[in-house]
Amino acid sequence: MSAVPFTLKRSSDLYTSGGGYESTTETAHGLVRLEADRLVIQWRVAVVTESMKGAGYETREEIEPVSEIVIPLAKVAGAFVLERRWWRLLGPRLVITAADLLAFEKIAGHQGLKLKHPSKLVLRVKRSDRLIAEEFAADLALALARLPAGGGVDAARLEGG
């Protein structure tokens, strides 16, 4: 069983008509793991809201319960770690691509983490976990190759090779 810890982060700012300001940061800490013939993704979202109104300042923090989705490997196309020069500044990214748009619906949709693209799950990985992410991508490629014919997508096609 191969597993990779990840984070996803989203921020928004709101200026009110009364001169107030509110900043909201949502951080999802999660784990993606490969189990036999399925991919399991678990995450917990922490929401920090900072408000300024007049001379007052308030910080609120909420932690949501753990969410989980289980995706059959037949609905996954593959995974790879982005090979770009700027990863040293921002950290590596593990990209998991779906073979079916419904695969990531719970995590990508309105109720989930609202991903930029419904078929790509781009996960921020700590620099120290980069090799674990690369091993995970290789394990996933091997698991997809072992699926019955027509069950997965060739990983080389995903990376443009």
Give the span between the Cα atoms of 36 and 50, in whole angstroms: 43
Number of Cβ atoms within 10 Å of the Cβ of 23: 14
Q: Which residue is it, tokens 């995706």?
A: 71
**154 in a domain, yes or no?**
no
Report d(CA 126, CA 84) in Å as an integer. 15
pLDDT band at 152 (very low <50, low <70, confident <90, very high): very low
The lowest-confidence range among 58-62, 138-142, 147-151, 156-160 is: 156-160
CB neighbours of 25 closer than 8 A, spacing ≥ 6? Answer: 9, 10, 11, 47, 48, 49
Answer yes or no: is pLDDT of 44 > 60.
yes
Half-sphere exposure of 58 (CA within 13 A, CB side): 8
pLDDT at 106: 78
What is the model's pLDDT at position 62? Answer: 95
Q: Is 153 among the domain residues?
A: no
**What is the mean predicted confidence (pLDDT) over 81-91?**
70
The pLDDT assigned to 101 comes to 82
Q: Is residue 53 part of a domain?
A: yes
Question: Does residue 152 lie within any of the structural domains?
Answer: no
Please compute the mean of the pLDDT values over residues 91-106 and round it to a whole number: 86
Please, which residues bridge with residue 71 across strands?
39
Q: What is the mean pLDDT of residues 1-11?
A: 86
Do residues 49 and 59 lie in contact, with contact meaning Cβ atoms separated by under 8 Å? yes
Q: Please, what is the average pLDDT of the chain?
A: 83
Domain annotation covers residue 155: no
Q: How far apart are CA 133 and CA 17, in angstroms?
A: 45
What contacts 83, CB < 8 A, 6 or more positions away?
Answer: none
Alpha-carbon dihedral angle through residues 66, 124, 157, 85, given to the nearest 10 degrees = 180
**What are φ and ψ of residue 114, in 5° steps?**
55, 65
Q: How many domains does the chain have?
A: 1
In a domain, 65, yes or no: yes
Mean pLDDT on 14-25: 85
Domain that holds residue 25: 2-147
Return d(Cα 77, Cα 67) in angstroms, integer: 23
The larger pLDDT score, comparing residue 102 to residue 63, is at 63
Instruction: Determine, yes or no, domain membership for 156.
Output: no
* Residue 132: inside a domain: yes
